[in-house]
Structure 1
Amino acid sequence: MAVTIKEVAKRANVAPSTVSRVIANSSRISEKTKERVREAMTELGYHPNYNARSLANKSTKTIGIVMPNSAKVSFQNPFFPEVIRGISMKAYQSGYGLYLSTGHTEEEILEEVKQMVFGGRVDGIVLLYSRVNDQVMPFLIEQKFPFVLIGRPYQVDESLVTYVNNDNFKAAKLVTEYLLLLGHEKIGFIGGNLDFVVTIDHMNGYEQALKNANITVNESYKVYHDELKEGGQDAVIELMSNEHPPTALIVADDIMTFGVIRMLEDMNMKVPHDMSIVSFNNVMISELSSPPMTTVDIHIYDLGFKATELLMHQLEDPTIGVEHVIIPHKLVKRQTCKLDHGASRG
């Protein structure tokens, strides 16, 4: 026979209504009481019937995760599994499941989001990207549907959007300044897709650092590709075809950097002896590559965890105001950078 809420309440020495609030993860209940009730649930083998609760509360206890493209493509980049790991941990702590988007094109993604919202499939959404001319974010704002953006809103009033982000402009400026301090002046920039705001912020930070150093921005030193290994390989071919190729590279993503290093090896160029490289994200591959990558740790897990925490704030209290959180970044120095030969002589 199934265990009832009344039995759990009796074991935890609380009212049945308190058990219900604990199941809903209400902020009105203290963590101490929640722990006692959850212990009683575990001891008695009680499992909440979320389907029944959904009908009563119009709640699905599910969070939608919207990726920039299909899972097949996104999961080739370690950023997405790691950010989803952070999302899933906070969702689990709050008693929520996950619903993952699978659309390939912008139109398919928007249609899927509409199904999530109008079909009552999720209580809220975490948007894993910010795109130029995006259609999803304006739709969610128009519908007044709870969502949190991982990234910076673009062409949208920030006062309307709760978001979690890194200071990507500052991070790109930092790594450019680091290469300048090592004596490099011919610094190439391998950005991700220009449709994404993070790429624009990286590019602007790179250009600002060069301008501050009175170095003219060389347009032929800037290339943009999808953040995959193949994108890094194609970028190197473009940059090394310059009459005076760069001596250092800033690469948007560690998985791209892996492709960059492999292609440079095919060209008989050694990193960092012939080319210094700084990357972003600090995923596991960055430490395991040969040589280990100098990269910017953007704390991907924390981005996902904090975004979900802010979404929980909205779901628990729909009147809560917009929140903005900047997750700090850190330059992790490893073995892909060295002094420029010319600078070391002069």
Structure 2
Amino acid sequence: MPVTIKDVANRANVSPSTVSRVISDNSRISDATKERVRAAMAELNYQPNLIARSLTNQTTHTIGLLLPGSDSDLLLNPFFVQAMRGISAYAKKKGYYILFTHAEIEEDEVDVLTDLVGSKWVDGIILTTVKDNDKRIAFLQEKKHPFVVIGRPDDEKLTYWVDNDNVNAMFDVVDMLIKKGKKTIGFIGGSHEFKVTKYRLLGYLKALKSNGIDMDLNLIYEKDYTEEAAYEATMDILGYKQPDAIVTTDDLIAFGVQRALHEKNLDQVSLVGFNNTLLSQYKTPSITSVDINAEKLGMFASKLLISQIEKEAIETNNYIINTKLVERDSTK
């Protein structure tokens, strides 16, 4: 005969409702009681019926994660893998599962969100990118569905979000290169529709201005977040003039830049990426990159979302995660 929640309650000498609250990790239950109940569950080999819990509580203990891209390039960008690691680690600790999905264009993403919210498959949603006039954010706000975005939204006060200080992070990169004697510095970023591109471009422009260097639009490119698009942009820049350095908004972009520089025997051109992905240190030369703590971004996004879902007191609606420049051979 299967073990029931009442059996666990009797063994732990608590009420069935207390066992239920321990299973959902309710903050009102003391640690001592949680330990006693969990010990009883282990002794009896009790496994909670998640489907029954969902029907009773009208919750799924599942977080929806919306990723950009197609089936073929879904996880090519290591940033999303790193962020997912942080999201999953915190969610698992709190007893939540992850359901991830994707779409290539914003209209399709809104359709995906409509299905997720309407079907009640998930208790909350994490958006891994932010755009100008973001239709996905507007939809979730209208539906009053718990959500968090990784990135800085248009309305910073009404949205829960986590991000880096991308303006200052790129400012520091470009300022460092200028102090090394680099005057002609190219910029290659992802699409301008993404907020992260805009903020890192702003940091680049501020650093040029701060050091008395005029902006040259022929050195600035905003392309897709792909290695091939970055390769083509680099070739365009090299057709115009040879820069002293090129900064990028993502390591995946930096990989395409490096391939173009290597083909032209220009490995001496300084190169900087963002995200400090594992592969950047194994390139030849190894690539200097800004560590944005992607795993920590994911962890705090998960924390903010679960706090909303469980209606906990939340001290802040956003977290700014520190960055660190990791210098390697590409700028030495």
Deviations 1:246-268 (A, max 9, x none): 11010111122122112211112
Deviations 1:210-252 (A, max 9, x none): 001111011111011222221221121111111x321101011
Give the match's secondary structure for 2:295. Answer: helix
Give the match's secondary structure for 1:160. Answer: coil
Map 1:159-198; keep pairs closer than 5 Å: 159-198=157-196
1:334–1:36 Cα change, 3 Å: farther
Residue 298 (structure 1) aligned with residue 295 (structure 2): no
For the Cα contact (< 8 Å) 1:101–1:109, is it kept in 2? no
Residue of structure 2 equivalent to 1:275: 269
1:53–1:336 Cα change, 3 Å: same
Give the match's secondary structure for 2:14. Answer: coil
For the Cα contact (< 8 Å) 1:69–1:102, is it kept in 2? yes
Residue of structure 2 equivalent to 1:7: 7
For the Cα contact (< 8 Å) 2:132–2:193, is it kept in 1? yes
Residue of structure 2 equivalent to 1:158: 156
For residue 260 of structure 2, the aligned residue among 259, 263, 266 is 263
Give the match's secondary structure for 2:181. Answer: coil
Deviations 1:15-69 (A, max 9, x none): 3222101111212123443344334323322111111111111101111111223
For the Cα contact (< 8 Å) 1:193–1:227, is it kept in 2? yes
For the Cα contact (< 8 Å) 1:233–1:260, is it kept in 2? yes
Number of positions where the alignment pairs a residue of Structure 1 with one of Structure 2 = 332
1:200–1:31 Cα change, 3 Å: farther
For the Cα contact (< 8 Å) 1:248–1:275, is it kept in 2? yes
Residue of structure 2 equivalent to 1:102: 102
Deviates more, 1:11-20 or 1:84-93: 11-20
Residue 91 (structure 1) aligned with residue 88 (structure 2): no
Give how far 1:183 is off: 0.6
Give how far 1:319 is off: 7.1
1:31–1:307 Cα change, 3 Å: farther
Give how far 1:320 is off: 4.8
CA-based RMSD: 1.6
Residue of structure 2 equivalent to 1:246: 243
Residue of structure 2 equivalent to 1:231: 229
Give the match's secondary structure for 2:172. Answer: helix
1:228–1:42 Cα change, 3 Å: farther
Give the match's secondary structure for 2:115. Answer: helix
Give the match's secondary structure for 2:186. Answer: strand
For the Cα contact (< 8 Å) 2:185–2:244, is it kept in 1? yes
Deviations 1:73-114 (A, max 9, x none): 231111111111111111111111112123222111101101
For residue 206 of structure 1, the aligned residue among 200, 204, 207 is 204
For the Cα contact (< 8 Å) 1:127–1:150, is it kept in 2? yes
Give how far 1:122 is off: 0.7
1:44–1:330 Cα change, 3 Å: same
Residue 69 (structure 1) aligned with residue 63 (structure 2): no
- In percent, how many aligned pairs have the same letter? 43
1:39–1:269 Cα change, 3 Å: farther
Deviations 1:120-161 (A, max 9, x none): 11100011010123210011111111001110002xx22110
Alpha-carbon distance between aligned partners in 1 of 2:283 and 2:35, rounded to the nearest angstrom: 43
Give how far 1:292 is off: 1.6
1:333–1:13 Cα change, 3 Å: farther
For the Cα contact (< 8 Å) 1:188–1:249, is it kept in 2? yes
Map 1:296-335; keep pairs closer than 5 Å: 296-317=290-311, 320=314, 323-335=317-329
Alpha-carbon distance between aligned partners in 1 of 2:10 and 2:328, rounded to the nearest angstrom: 57
* Structure 2: stretches of 5+ with no match in the other structure: none
1:224–1:143 Cα change, 3 Å: same
1:107–1:159 Cα change, 3 Å: same
Deviates more, 1:35-44 or 1:130-139: 35-44
Residue of structure 2 equivalent to 1:344: none
Give how far 1:275 is off: 0.3
Give the match's secondary structure for 2:304. Answer: helix
Give the match's secondary structure for 1:126. Answer: strand
Residue of structure 1 equivalent to 2:116: 116
Q: What is the TM-score with the length of structure 2 in the denominator?
A: 0.95
Alpha-carbon distance between aligned partners in 1 of 2:329 and 2:134, rounded to the nearest angstrom: 38
1:232–1:17 Cα change, 3 Å: same
Deviations 1:275-299 (A, max 9, x none): 0011110111111212221111000
Equivalent position amino acid for 1:62 in 2: T
